[in-house]
Amino acid sequence: MSIAERMITRHIMTRGVFTPGKKTFALALMLALAVPVSAKLDTDKVYEPVSPTVEQARANILIARQLQFTHFRDMSINDSLSGDVFDAYLNYLDGQRIYLTQKDIDKISAVRSGLGSALKTGQLQPGFDIYNLVQQRIIERLEFALALIDDGIDKLDFSADERILLDRSDADWEADREALDALWVKRIKNAVLAQRLNDSDDGSIKEALRRRYEGQLKRAYQARSEDAFQAYMNAFTGMWDPHTSYFSPRTSENFNINMSLSLEGIGAVLQSDNEYTKVVRLVPGGPASKQGQLEPADRIVSVKQEDEEKPVNVIGWRLDEVVDLIRGPRESTVTLEVIPADAPDETVTETIAITRDKVKLEEQSASKEVIEFERDNDTYRIGVINIPTFYADFKAMQAGDPNYKSTTRDVRKLIDELKAEEVDGVVIDLRNNGGGALHEANDLVGLFIEEGPTVQIRNSNNDVQVLNDEDPSVAYDGPLVVLVNRMSASASEIFAGAIQDYGRGLVVGSQTFGKGTVQAVRPLNHGQLKITQSKFYRVSGGSTQHKGVIPDIEIPSRVDKTRIGEDALDRALPWDQIEAVPHARYFDFSGIIDELRKRHDNRFEEHPEFSLLQKEIEFLKQQREREYVSLNLEKRKEHHSQIERTRLTIANARRDIHGEEAFESLDELDDWQDQQAAEPDNADDELDFIIREGGNIMADMLELDQRMASILNPKQITAQAQAR
């Protein structure tokens, strides 16, 4: 019996995790993989395969039980699921299909249909064997890349009419090692071209690429049992929905720190995205949000500390290691090199310096301003309330502090101030508001309606709980517009949906995120399980899940909906509908909505900012639709020049709108952006045209129906409701 066979047999027979009858399955996988216990490559280092522990096996069994009996989605662990777990696991380990070959896939496919039953009973060895194989293939590829670089990047041919597929997630696996070699030559060429186009010389490029691949190689050799277990469990839990996931003990610690908002860092939520670490969202009031350059869907290329000369390339790093690198002491500076979310390709990067700090509750607070509109002989004063998150100082509230801060309490004060300033209408800005405290969304709706339901919550047993506003008082009964965008999620969607269902105001902007599920974190013997246990529904019965809130008047956005949003996530729970709950209808906009949309469209057709936005969206769409990029130097230069010309043209068009002098070069534009980021307090704070358009729509409402003020009188609403 080989060493590997003895290892698996000992694991099966001594740990009490597998039954003797399951031994055949584990041995079959080992023989199919034909992976030695230690693989020595062209180096003095040896990869030592990782093995599962008893604690991990027990956690696996607990996770399987929780998923089957407590998750909102009723789903069994069967042979069909086995194949899906197999595919998801490979996608997690080699999502771009650049490490494994078709020959490898053929070998490991022997166990494809057996993973479900193995996961039910804590048989982790199959998943670990696949993980070990992938790690060895990663090492082989990185060794190949380093050898190619050492041979001289000047020997690479950039004159041929070659191209490379940008996204290989749906590509065929390369047939064998020779075909994979050819693919990796193209990958190295693409990496070299990208840096040459950013004006790096070959010496710097060679050094940068060596650091990148050596760093990845070092981490491949340092693979840990917990890395394999977390990857395998998340492929498994992800079958139920994208928000259900396993946290290892270390990840649990990071999660708990983030939830307490005591983390000293940049205030950004990150996740793995193939070889990159991607920004999911920014914490309102956090350093990154205040600095203003980092955006959701940006991908991090490198991280540099203020006391280091050179950045550390983090492509291919584990998420927890990238988090540790970005985290640091308060008032220190970390510099991120990112590929912006709206970058036309990976050759465009941006350097962002962020000073670390704690996220302060007061910097997440709601704020207000008043804008004025001249219409014929009338002047309309519109109050704008910006709500970056749904927050509450739970500690102060539990301590009995009568002045504790919360979204609802702060907005009530702002409304009183705006009424004292005699505004004609109010715009609530929820753009980029990712949610927060559910009870605050409930209470905030209550500021604008009399008593009534605000949201329904259905659990896995189909029991429905209805949250209500039980306070009959109304803080504001005048005209209302709610601004949303793709980054408005969860509690924001509950508020916007309720305002829309009650006919209390108009929702304006772009389709929201569609996060309509509720998760609970449950402790395990080893780590934690974050599991989806219920779902939000509007008072009209429709779920906010997947579909989000569709605005009454839509404004296009630069955000790519195929990359950001619930419907862009694999296995997201679907939209559905339950019975509506009785609720009042404050105003019927059907009589004026067509005219409001017509006026909005006409205004935007004539608005230079909107015209420019449309050009930007079309340009980005064209770039995103490109499947291939050329590896021919001259063709690549021409494409890069075209991108730079377009960026400069758009930037100068915006400068012209504001009566500012045009930039003569892209370098001048980049320098100006760096200066603005370094001095955010001095940045151009001109009211953005989306807020102004919200105010214009409000003014249209007032013009089209002067009766609104009286219709929205709470006493008349009550009388109308009784009459119905």
What token pair was written down for 386?
A: 């910006």
Those residues with Cβ within 8 angstroms of residue 724's Cβ, 6 or more apart along the chain or in another chain: none
Rounded CA-CA distance 323/378 in Å is 54
443 is catalytic: no
C-alpha–C-alpha distance, residues 211 and 301, integer Å: 12
Secondary structure of residue 161 in the 3-state scheme: coil
Phi-psi region of 102 (alpha: psi -120 to 50; beta: other; left: phi over 0): alpha
Which of 639, 640, 637, 665 has its CA nearest to residue 651?
A: 665
Using an 8 Å Cβ cutoff, are 50 and 11 in contact?
no
Taking the C-alpha atoms of residue 704 and residue 687, their distance in angstroms, rounded to an integer, is: 25
Q: Cα dist. 151→141, 155, 162, 445, 539 in Å?
A: 15, 8, 21, 65, 66
Which token pair is 490? 């969860």
- Find the catalytic residue in 248, 302, 490, 557: 490
CA distance 252 to 233: 14
From 129, 320, 410, 501, the catalytic residue: 501
3-state secondary structure of 629: strand
Tokens of residue 209, six digits: 């690429």
Residue 380: enclosing H or E segment and its boundaries?
A: strand 378-386
| Nearest CA-CA partner of 114 in 16, 2, 11, 32 | 32
Amino acid found at 499: I
- Bridging pattern class, strands 425-429 and 480-484: parallel
Q: Which two tokens stand for residue 7?
A: 């290892």
List the one residue out of 448, 455, 489 whose CA is nearest residue 471: 448
Query: How many angstroms separate the CA atoms of 414 and 429, rounded?
Result: 13
Token reading at 155? 């020997």
Q: What number of other Cβ atoms are within 10 A of residue 26's Cβ?
A: 23
The closest of 52, 54, 51, 8 to 28, measured between CA atoms, is 8
Q: Which two tokens stand for residue 658?
A: 């504001």
Q: Are 212 and 204 in contact (CB under 8 A)?
A: no
Instruction: Report the C-alpha gap between 364 and 176 in whole angstroms.
Output: 54
The pair of three-digit structure tokens given for residue 218, joined into one six-digit string: 């070092």
- What sign results for the dihedral spanned by CA atoms 137, 140, 142, 144? negative
Catalytic residue from among 22, 368, 515, 547: 515
> Residue 51 is encoded by which pair of tokens?
């093995």
- Please say if 501 is a catalytic residue: yes
Q: Is 260 a catalytic residue?
A: no
Active site positions, annotated:
490, 501, 515
